Amino acid sequence: MKVFIPACFITSGHSVQKWKGNDMESMRDTKRIMEREIKKGSTPLTFEQMEIDTENYQEITSEEKLTEVLQYLHRVGNYKSLAGKTVINNVYTFMRGRTPDFTRARSIFDREKIYHQMLRQEKKMKPVYDGDCYIETAKCYFSLPEEWEKHKMMYRNNDAFGFILSNKYILGLYKYCREARRDIAMEAHEIPKNTNTVVQRLINMDDLEVLSHCLLLDDVWVENNLIGAKMYTIFKLGISSQSTAFLL
């Protein structure tokens, strides 16, 4: 039986990427950086598509539930046991003052730091947990232009695939996912008529703030010769005048 193991081998160091104002560096620059990383040896995984549907939203109904969700996403607290070797590939967005940054959390200390910052963000955003706080699960799919056999390996007596991904390349994949989510919000698309108005606002990212945002690459799967990973976003409906939360 063949089992896919997300064995990603990292070749470069830790770094934090920043926005200038509310905009990330251009995707053209990101593409050039990723092309250079491929020449250095990174596996050429390519972002293909993002999938979101009306069933991808769950309401967060209490502060306790939010704490549980944040612990799961950051692999801390009651969910610390989920942190395997590939957890270092996860990408998290956090606030540095009023500027949103994004980074890979390379250790339990990094994840704990971001987790506690998100708890402080909650205090600033002040959700009332009465239909105003939701988590979105988006599916991101990546293709592998090369032959899969080139990346075949054995891991714990199972057939597996190992990918060499540099820090800059992983952050580049995250940027493509984030940009795709922004495109979904900006493009005209058909939403089923029976969709409630709250879900429509969430899909279109209309009049809301982002509390937490992450791409989890420690839990991937293979589907139709594509590699899938989930990107999670916690939204609060409405914009607080005193909030330092960021928009996508």
Taking only the tens place, the pLDDT of each residue in 207-223 is 999 999 999 999 888 88
If one counts every other C-beta atom within 10 angstroms of the C-beta of residue 50, the result is 18
Query: Which residues make Cβ contacts (< 8 Å) with residue 29, sequence separation at least 6?
Result: none
12-26, 50-64, 178-192: range with lowest mean pLDDT: 12-26
Q: Does residue 245 lie within any of the structural domains?
A: no
The count of structural domains within the chain is 1
Say if strands 2-9 and 158-164 run parallel, antiparallel, or are unpaired. parallel
- Please tell me which residue, 11 or 88, carries the higher pLDDT value: 88
Per-residue pLDDT tens digits for 149-164: 777 777 667 777 778 8
**pTM for this one?**
0.86
Question: Cα angle vertex 220, ends 150, 184, to 5°?
Answer: 110
Q: Does residue 246 lie within any of the structural domains?
A: no
If one counts every other C-beta atom within 10 angstroms of the C-beta of residue 235, the result is 25
Q: Does residue 243 lie within any of the structural domains?
A: no
DSSP state of 122: H
SS3 content of the chain, % helix, strand, coil (to 5): 35, 35, 30
Helices 63-74 and 108-125: crossing angle in degrees, nearest 10, is 150
Is pLDDT at 2 greater than 70 in this prediction? Answer: no
What is the pLDDT at residue 47?
96
CA distance 205 to 116: 25
Helix (H) or strand (E) holding 38: helix 27-40
Q: Does residue 169 lie within any of the structural domains?
A: yes
Q: Does residue 38 lie within any of the structural domains?
A: yes
The answer to whether the beta carbons of residues 127 and 214 sit under 8 Å apart is no
Is pLDDT at 88 greater than 60 in this prediction? Answer: yes
Domain range holding 128? 2-237
- Please tell me which residue, 149 or 234, carries the higher pLDDT value: 234
What is the pLDDT at residue 8?
43
Q: Does residue 248 lie within any of the structural domains?
A: no
Closest among 178, 175, 146 to 44, alpha carbons compared: 146
If one counts every other C-beta atom within 10 angstroms of the C-beta of residue 93, the result is 23
Question: Cα angle vertex 148, ends 145, 152, to 5°?
Answer: 145
Helix (H) or strand (E) holding 113: helix 108-125
Phi-psi region of 49 (alpha: psi -120 to 50; beta: other; left: phi over 0): beta
CA distance 51 to 225: 16
- Please tell me which residue, 178 or 192, carries the higher pLDDT value: 178
Average pLDDT value for the chain: 83
Is pLDDT at 13 greater than 80 in this prediction? Answer: no
Helix (H) or strand (E) holding 74: helix 63-74
- Please tell me which residue, 28 or 136, carries the higher pLDDT value: 136
17-26, 126-135, 161-170, 187-196: range with lowest mean pLDDT: 17-26
Residue 213, token pair as written in the block: 């945002």
Per-residue pLDDT tens digits for 98-119: 777 889 988 999 999 999 999 9
Question: Cα angle vertex 82, ends 169, 142, to 5°?
Answer: 30
When pLDDT is averaged across residues 6-21 and rounded to a whole number, the result is 44
